[in-house]
Amino acid sequence: MNTEEMLLPSALTEYAVGPLDDSVRASLAQRLATAETPGVTWFPQSFTRAGDAVFIAFEESGAPLLLQYGGAAGACGLSHPTELAGNGAGHGAGQGNKAYVYPFASTDRENVAAFAERIDLTFLPRPQRDRPAIASGNRHPEVSLPAVFDAFRDILRETGLNLASTVQLSATREMTTDDEIARRDGRNPTAPGHTRVSIRHLYHAGLWAAIRSGFRYGYTAEADHFIVSGANDAEIAKSVEWVKEAIRHAAGYTKFTTDTSRVFDLRADMRHPQPLSETQIEELFQQRLTPEERAWVHAAFSKPFDCGAASYRFDAAEIKRLAVKFVPSLKLNEELFDSILQARHGAQFDFEPSLDEAETLTSAKELIFYMHWLKERGRPAQLVPPNLGFKKRQAYPETRAALEKYSHHKMWPEVMPRVDGEFAGNPIPELKDRVRELADVARFFDGTLSIHSGSGKQPEVLRSIGSATRGRLNYKISGELQLRLFDVLSEAREGSAERRLYDRMVAACERFAAQSAFGEESALAAQYRASGHGSYLGDAGSGRVDGNLFLVFWLGNMVGCKDEDGRFFKQGLDELPRSVIEESRRRNKEYVKWLASHLFAQ
């Protein structure tokens, strides 16, 4: 059917006036389900009113569109209208109203933004504040965002909890700016933007998915991991300027995670194999802090901190070591906070300075030092992610032997003695105790503990985290939603287009590994292939420990690389048949609800 000639269902024209709420939309959905509009799929929960016009999202033959009934063409800043023939002829046209159709894909950014900013503002993201959330990283937003919005609607209805933090990816790792995406040639699988999703595209895809799903209950949009790195001051300064540019692109987001952990001075930590001497610490303390800062930091940390069941005191030597380790990163966080505030034009946002990718496990005193410094200097953190010892998309060890193997190469000297001495060799109770202690510290500062690298964790770990935090937590996932799409491809019939696409991605990933594109982890490709794991990604319900963990971690980076025909793999993924998309969405929705059932178990 040609859009210009479509007839408006009578239900739409009848609801053009009168009350409009969820019950009306539910009634409209029932009416539209029986309307004779062949080739058209309606999204009744998007139905809304602005001025003398009503609007509803729909698809015709797979093309995403927006219908306006009543009002003038281009109402509320919408662009590229097509007037329906006969003024939208059909039931209700006798009122003299005209009808228009607008392009409304996730890539039609002007129309998507106009709808959210001028037609129905309930679809704009909001800061999270103290609300618990599952932060869902969407590397294929058009596939997974509809699923996670559906999952969060079900969770809200069934539990009363709104856990929606649906728009999230690393701003300078998985994503990047539009210009950088355009320049990417696909030759480097670890370059920023390997999802081929730009910062602005994810934001608008989030608005688009929220509108079409009718999710008016509030959700968070997070620009995750603005990473600052560099081997010297010049490289760090260059990195900071790039991060600030990325922040400007992310101005619409409402939660910002900064990551300055790469400038931590680990030598100041006594867990380091060769820690700095007290004399060296004193020299660096004098160099890195002004006289005023040195006086302030001693005064600021001289009082006791009563956090839940524990009270913490800092002696002068501890203060100096923590300052030497953290102050350069803290000052960068202050600078980035100010840049976010400027980009947001003073609008409220959540600030999440990350410690989770540090080389050491985060102690309670480290968390206190970090949060208190920022709060006292006017940049309070609403969320804080410690390093708990989690690895991305992997289960946490359940036995002593597994933990010893998992941690032997890490700078975590305290973990095995704690497990042995205080928890009878049981890793998960030890983890739960650390999470409880850190969550109490976060609460002391009116903050929320944020758990990163949450994908792949098993039920016992999830329940332990939920219990230890008493339900106040932010739990981040990312790669698992993408892996479930890959599962669907890998399970497709041998020789099918979907299976061939998957196999080519696997082959490309292994070719890059042969070129050492993934650093030390490149060697794992041959090891897992030789051990008979093949291209199996493992049992999703068991943390994928039985799968090819090289592919579990790196296969997603192929999306931004090129297929044999010279096109990016993402283009092939964007063209997957509806059946594959629907099955992937079903699994994504199921996974998010499964997570919630364990994290927030009663």
Q: What is the pTM of this model?
A: 0.96
Higher-confidence position of 102 and 478: 102
Instruction: Identify the domain containing residue 98 by its residue range.
Output: 3-123
Same domain, 12 and 101: yes
Same domain, 553 and 576: yes
Judge whether residue 2 has pLDDT over 70. no
- For the chain, the average pLDDT equals 95
Judge whether residue 367 has pLDDT over 50. yes
> Which are the contacts of 261, defined by CB distance < 8 A and separation ≥ 6?
329, 354, 355, 356, 357, 358
Same domain, 51 and 144: no
Please report which confidence band the pLDDT of residue 92 belongs to, taking 50, 70 and 90 as the band edges: very low
pLDDT at 18: 85
Answer whether 549's CB lies under 8 Å from 524's CB: yes
Q: Which helix (H) or strand (E) holds 297?
A: helix 291-300
pLDDT at 542: 84
What is the DSSP annotation of 192-210?
Answer: S-TT-EEHHHHHHHHHHHH
Same domain, 133 and 255: yes
3-state class (DSSP) for residue 18:
coil
Q: Which helix (H) or strand (E) holds 512?
A: helix 497-514
- Tokens 């998985």 found at: 174
Percent of the chain scoring above 90 in pLDDT: 91
> Which are the contacts of 65, defined by CB distance < 8 A and separation ≥ 6?
3, 57, 58, 59, 101, 102, 103, 104
The DSSP bridge pattern shows strands 133-137 and 164-170 to be parallel
Please report which confidence band the pLDDT of residue 91 belongs to, taking 50, 70 and 90 as the band edges: very low
Final residue belonging to a domain, choices 123, 145, 176: 123
pLDDT at 3: 57
Percent of the chain scoring above 70 in pLDDT: 97
Same domain, 191 and 89: no
pLDDT at 85: 77
pLDDT, mean of residues 62-91 = 84
pLDDT in tens, 385-409: 999 999 988 899 999 999 999 999 9
pLDDT, mean of residues 273-287 = 98
pLDDT in tens, 283-298: 999 999 999 999 999 9
- 242 in a structural domain: yes
CA atoms within 13 A on the CB side of 62: 7
Same domain, 86 and 192: no
Q: Residue 29 corresponds to which tokens in the numbers above? A: 């959905």
Q: Can you tell me the distance from the alpha carbon of 478 to that of 298, in angstroms, rounded to the nearest whole number?
A: 40
Answer whether 165's CB lies under 8 Å from 134's CB: yes
Judge whether residue 245 has pLDDT over 60. yes
pLDDT, mean of residues 527-555 = 94
Judge whether residue 435 has pLDDT over 50. yes
Q: Can you tell me the distance from the alpha carbon of 444 to that of 307, in angstroms, rounded to the nearest whole number?
A: 6
Task: Please state, as a whole number, how many other Cβ atoms lie within 10 Å of the Cβ of residue 63.
Answer: 13
- 374 in a structural domain: no
Final residue belonging to a domain, choices 91, 106, 123: 123
- 505 in a structural domain: yes
β partners of residue 307: 310
pLDDT at 88: 43
- 356 in a structural domain: no
Judge whether residue 587 has pLDDT over 80. yes
pLDDT in tens, 225-244: 999 999 999 999 999 999 99
pLDDT at 1: 44
Of 511, 471, 486, residue with least CA distance to 587: 486
Answer whether 69's CB lies under 8 Å from 54's CB: yes
Final residue belonging to a domain, choices 108, 123, 138: 123
Same domain, 112 and 168: no
pLDDT in tens, 4-14: 556 688 888 88
Same domain, 60 and 174: no
Q: Residue 590 corresponds to which tokens in the numbers above? A: 């199921």
pLDDT at 95: 59
Same domain, 100 and 138: no
pLDDT at 543: 85
- 225 in a structural domain: yes
pLDDT at 4: 56
pLDDT in tens, 464-486: 999 999 999 999 998 999 999 99
Same domain, 205 and 108: no
- 597 in a structural domain: yes
Judge whether residue 216 has pLDDT over 90. yes
Same domain, 115 and 140: no
- Tokens 């079900």 found at: 154
Q: Can you tell me the distance from the alpha carbon of 569 to that of 558, in angstroms, rounded to the nearest whole number?
A: 7
Same domain, 83 and 204: no
The DSSP bridge pattern shows strands 305-307 and 255-259 to be unpaired
Q: Residue 56 corresponds to which tokens in the numbers above? A: 């509803």
Q: How many domains does the chain have?
A: 2
pLDDT in tens, 293-318: 999 999 999 999 999 899 999 999 99
* Phi, psi torsion values for 223, nearest 5 degrees: -90, 105
- 139 in a structural domain: yes
- 32 in a structural domain: yes
